[in-house]
Amino acid sequence: MVLEYTDILDNMRRHRVEAIVTTEHPASHYGTGVIVLENGNSLDLQSWTMLRYRVIQASEIESVLLRKVFENFVAMTGGHVK
C-alpha cells in the first residue's frame, strides 16, 4: 500500500512511502495487525497522528486489515469506530 505523511522537519513537505499491514512483526501483540513502513519500523498511533499520515492506495485485503488496525488505535484512545 502507499501512505503519505507530513515531514515536520522538512518544511512540512508531504512524502509518500510504501507500507504493509502484518501480524508478523515484533510490534504485533496477540495477532494485532501493525503498519510496517518500508524501513521495517512499525507505525504507531502517535506518529500516525503527529505526521498526519493518510492512506493513498490500498488493496481490498489491506483495507480490511487497516480497519482492524484503526479499530485498535481507537480502542487505545477510548473512542468508537463507526
- In the chain, where the domains are located: 2-77
The structure's pTM equals 0.78
Q: How far apart are CA 80 and CA 82, in angstroms?
A: 6
**pLDDT (tens digit per residue) in 4-29:** 999 988 899 999 999 988 877 777 76
Locate 67 and state its grid cell: 480497519
Least-confidence region, from 10-24, 33-47, 67-81: 67-81
Non-local CB neighbours of 28 within 8 Å, separated by 6+ positions: 22, 34, 42
> Between the CA of residue 32 and those of 8, 9, 65, what are the distances in Å?
28, 30, 10
CA–CA gap between residue 31 and residue 2 (Å, rounded): 23
